[in-house]
Amino acid sequence: MLKIIIEIEWGILMSSNSTNITISVLMTTYNGELYIQEQLDSILNQSYRNFEIFIADDNSNDNTYTILKEYQRTYPFIHLKQNNKQLGFVKNFEQLLENCTSKYIAFCDQDDVWHKDKLNISIQALETKNNSIPLLFHSDLYVTDYQLEIIYNSFFKMRHYHFTSHKQLDAILGRCGVMGNTIVINQKLKSLLLPFPNHLANHDYWMALIAELFGQRVSSLKPLVYYRIHQSNSSNSVITLNKKRKLSTIIQKKYRLPFQEISREEVLRELLRRYPIQNQDKRVILYFLHYLNNELKISSLFSFIFHHNFFKQNYIYKVKIFLAILWKQV
């Protein structure tokens, strides 16, 4: 079993033998004119310089593509295309990833801001690992409002996400917490990822799963991205992050329990069909599938919720989920 490392400190300088490593930054855009310039500027101002940027615009109907064309004219290492029809951000990232040949590949949202040493720290971490195995680097984030005023100094702490030094397949299957806008992968992991499953809601979930099963995850507990929360976020928004469900709402029979509304059953079944998975890992995946399909026996509920890490590590939250599942079975 490959060990999963939690490390990385501020101020690490690139070693002399890694300064020539090219990394490709992949960005998908759609109607991002409000914040796209700040994100691009934060990439262009990285302390690590040897990178290229690939951008696929998903047929925006605002000024996003015009802004991107202006940047491309100034910076020839920006490669830009516009889709003839909207693909959605998952398929948009997939098409960018298919043709990417760089040693390392970073994923980028259109509305965040990167710390100036993000690429530097990411590559330094990955260079200390065995590149013959699939590698995934990710980090914590600062959570900010739309004006980049920090709301939380740690996304992980805000969401009760805990990354440990051992394998956490149950955590990745459930709450995950590996954010796509912080991810950097190597070519070995890329070779296992494609094609993305048709029912995949978020590309970062699939990348984190494959890395957890077949490779090594390198987790930085230091925030390297200023994660801008506003009304138009594709995953989290001001509404979803501030939403606190009351117990009476959670235990309603019509309430969809966590992870049951985002087509994970189809994704996990494709995972089982596509890859040779160790029996121990397969049992964990099937256990989680029983939950998604409301097939858990009442006698298994306590172990599922409190002895495993499918849900975020918050006791009150877990009690609510426990009561909700009980309620749905009576």
User: Is residue 149 assigned to a domain?
Assistant: yes
Whether 269 and 176 map to the same domain: the answer is no
Whether 147 and 248 map to the same domain: the answer is no
- Contact by Cβ (8 Å): 135, 188: yes
Task: Pull the structure tokens for residue 32.
Answer: 């991002």
Whether 266 and 219 map to the same domain: the answer is no
In angstroms, rounded to a whole number, what is the distance separating the alpha carbons of residues 34 and 5?
37
- Contact by Cβ (8 Å): 34, 3: no
Distances in Å between the Cα of 283 and the Cα atoms of 23, 38, 208 are 36, 45, 18
Whether 108 and 210 map to the same domain: the answer is yes
* 224-247 confidence digits (pLDDT tens): 999 999 765 555 554 455 545 554
User: Is residue 124 assigned to a domain?
Assistant: yes
In angstroms, rounded to a whole number, what is the distance separating the alpha carbons of residues 115 and 42?
7
Whether 155 and 45 map to the same domain: the answer is yes
Q: Which residues pair with residue 144 across a beta bridge?
A: 150, 228
User: Is residue 291 assigned to a domain?
Assistant: yes
Whether 63 and 192 map to the same domain: the answer is yes
Task: Output the pLDDT for position 246.
Answer: 52
Tell me which residue has tokens 């409000």: 34
User: Which of 175, 196, 228 marks a domain boundary?
Assistant: 228
CATH of residue 96: 3.90.550.10
Q: Which amino acid is at 199?
A: H
Whether 19 and 147 map to the same domain: the answer is yes
Whole-prediction pTM: 0.87
User: Which of 228, 255, 272 marks a domain boundary?
Assistant: 228
Whether 282 and 255 map to the same domain: the answer is yes
Task: Output the pLDDT for position 13.
Answer: 33
Query: How many Cβ atoms sit within 10 Å of the Cβ of residue 128?
Result: 14
In angstroms, rounded to a whole number, what is the distance separating the alpha carbons of residues 211 and 190?
10
Distances in Å between the Cα of 202 and the Cα atoms of 26, 45, 206, 240 are 15, 28, 7, 16
User: Is residue 236 assigned to a domain?
Assistant: no
Q: Give pLDDT < 70 ranges for the chain.
A: 1-19, 231-256, 328-330
Whether 67 and 208 map to the same domain: the answer is yes
φ, ψ of residue 297 to 5 degrees: the values are: -75, 150
Whether 268 and 194 map to the same domain: the answer is no
Q: Domain range for residue 108?
A: 5-228
| Total structural domains within the chain | 2
